[in-house]
Amino acid sequence: MSIKRYEDEIYGPSSYDFEESESGSWVKYEDHAAEVAKLNHQPISVVGERDSHIARLKEQVRAQAAESLQYKRFFESAWRVAMDGCDFDGAGIQGLAVNLGLAKAEVYDSEKHSDLVSDASDFEDGCEVFFPVKSLNADAILNEVRAQGCEMFIEFNRKLAKDYPHAMVAKALEVTELNGEQFAARIRAGEVQR
């Protein structure tokens, strides 16, 4: 149920007349009370879905906080070494990153790794090579934000299609919406990289 809205017309010091208006500032108490009652008696499934969504968001925030803490520890450790006047060489940086779970060490294999390093001639098969661990939680959050931006564009196109119902314009906007929906799904799945 959509609440009917009204705008007031003043015809003198104490005479008001209310006309129905889509963007009006007034609503009838009875309409408002009925809408509130309806919302208060939502089916349990809707409430359950909301609670499940909130739980997923809380878990994402906890995972992001844990991930951020490791980066903070890495920075603080490197900063302490530098402030103590010590030299923090590549092996020390790599070791600290691995200990904090920010990097992983692999045995270099030219067939597997040559495209992943800046200069393959610096490495020999069998040597240890380090790679950053992909930040899955941060990537998932960024993908969700990007997908929501795409969905905002889709909604914008839907509104345009209503405003311009001509066959060619509406069809072009419909195709754009479909492409946008597929693109948003690919963003969420992590298939689209910047």
Q: Which residues contact 139 (CB under 8 A, 6 or more apart)?
A: 190
- Note the pLDDT of residue 154: 84
> Cα 127–133–139 angle (5° rounding)?
155
pLDDT band at 75 (very low <50, low <70, confident <90, very high): confident
- What does pLDDT average to over the chain? 77
Count of Cβ atoms closer than 10 Å to residue 44 Cβ: 7
Mean pLDDT of 55-60: 82
* pLDDT 10s digits, 76-92: 887 777 777 777 777 77
Q: Which residues contact 147 (CB under 8 A, 6 or more apart)?
A: 184, 185, 187, 188
- Note the pLDDT of residue 45: 63
Mean pLDDT of 126-143: 77
Mean pLDDT of 2-26: 70
Give me the residue spans of the domains in the chain: 5-41, 46-133, 137-188
DSSP string, 52-100: HHHHHHHHHHHHHHHHHHHHHHHHHHHHHHHHTT----HHHHHHHHHHT
Is the confidence at residue 53, as pLDDT, over 80? no
pLDDT band at 47 (very low <50, low <70, confident <90, very high): low
Give me the sign of the Cα torsion angle 163, 169, 174, 179. negative
- Note the pLDDT of residue 46: 60
- Note the pLDDT of residue 10: 59
Tell me how far apart the alpha carbons of residues 101 and 71 are, in angstroms, rounded to a whole number: 9
